[in-house]
Amino acid sequence: MSETAPRPTLEAVAARAGVSRATVSRVVNGGDGVREPLAARVRRAVDELGYVPNQAARSLVTKRHDAVAVVIAEPETRVFADPFFARQLRGISKELTAHDTQLVLLLTEGREDHARVGRYLAGGHVDGALVFSLHLDDPLPALIQRAGVPTVFGGRPGWSDGMREAAYVDSDNRGGARTAVRHLAGLGRRRIAHICGPLDQTSAADRLEGYRDVMDGGDPRLIAESDFTPAGGERALGELLDRVPDLDAVFAANDLTASGALRVLRARGLRVPEDIAVVGFDDMLPLAEQTDPPLTTVRQDIEGMGRLMARLLLRGPGTAPPGPTGLAGGTGGTGRSLVLPTELIRRASA
């Protein structure tokens, strides 16, 4: 990588404007306390020289970085296979931008990367961290806590130990699942199966709980564990159908899973929703509209979650959450945790 051309320093601007460095600094940072004729001269010098403050120098003294890290820990290949993170990222980015804060993305592909991330966070590059850690046994959260950086988690963290006070933002997975299953029941369906996601992820576990809430605990023969992928959905529905041939509905833990299930149904000549009704979760577009038939599903405001995470981190405790948002337990940490409502989107599959 070739060298970056040397940029003008505060010194240079000061010289050109015929003032001291301190004065230039004042003008550059808001300009209060400098009288007009002078300030204008400084601004002109800044423009002429194309001066841009050196952030490293600034951080060194202010101890602020105007940057937050987004840590996405997902060993599996699936990480970006669905637009889920991407959408949250977008929400985060919008909110950070509004606060003139940079987004530093830290992707970890496996445990080897954890040390690197820990070092980075501890290295004082950022003012805080937004962390997506999906698995129960993930060592990352502990590592991050040790780094002593303010943190907000995306999705309810699953470790019971010292993490109780972690701030997080999540969708109402359990409530959404209940809505989905109730919808199916309301359609007159009786043998409602559930294809759940990997239970070491709280979102999957919570959706399963929601299903059980409505199904009175749920017959184990009606539940198959899967992995949030289309292929997994195919396999799981196959099992379910073999076990309970007269199934009349299935609630899939996410849309990807549902799409796999749909494929199996079509292959076996079963009509949706006449023979079997299907409900997904996520409202992942364009997939959810593109399946045959289009998927009835539980929408969560993914971008909104991202935005809220950033807001929580930036504002710290204090400001009330905006708009129509449910509010949940949470405690200390960087403020309350937030649980966003979900919404059933009716299409043709149920």
Report the interface residues with a second copy, using CB under 8 A. Answer: 1-5, 7, 50, 52-57, 59-60, 63, 65, 67, 70, 79-83, 85-87, 89-90, 93-94, 97, 100, 102-107, 109, 113, 116, 119-120, 122-125, 127-128, 146, 148-150, 230, 256, 259, 263, 285-287, 289-292, 313-314, 316, 334
Cα dihedral 44, 45, 47, 49 in deg (nearest 10): 160
Q: Does 26 bind DNA (CB under 7 A)?
A: yes
Q: Does 16 bind DNA (CB under 7 A)?
A: no
Q: Does 331 bind DNA (CB under 7 A)?
A: no
User: Which amino acid, 123?
Assistant: G
CB of 149 to DNA, least distance (A): 16
Q: Does 324 bind DNA (CB under 7 A)?
A: no
Q: Does 21 bind DNA (CB under 7 A)?
A: yes
CB of 104 to DNA, least distance (A): 19
The residue among 26 and 174 lying less far from DNA, judged by its C-beta, is 26
CA distance 215 to 225: 17
Q: Are 251 and 192 in contact (CB under 8 A)?
A: yes
Query: Residue from 3, 5, 33, 269 that binds DNA (CB under 7 A)?
Result: 33
Q: Are 284 and 254 in contact (CB under 8 A)?
A: yes
DSSP 93-139: HHHHHHTT-EEEEEEE-STHHHHHHHHHHHTT--SEEEEEE--TT-S
Closest CA to 282 of 234, 201, 236, 344: 344
Closest CA to 154 of 228, 255, 256, 68: 68
User: Which amino acid, 102?
Assistant: Q
Q: Which two tokens stand for residue 91?
A: 């929400």
From the list a second copy, DNA, none, partner contacted by residue 65 (C-beta under 5 to 8 A by kind) = a second copy
Q: Does 54 bind DNA (CB under 7 A)?
A: yes
Q: Are 83 and 119 in contact (CB under 8 A)?
A: no
Q: Which residues bind DNA (CB under 7 A)?
A: 6, 9-11, 18-23, 25-26, 28-29, 33-35, 38-39, 51, 53-54, 57-58, 60-62
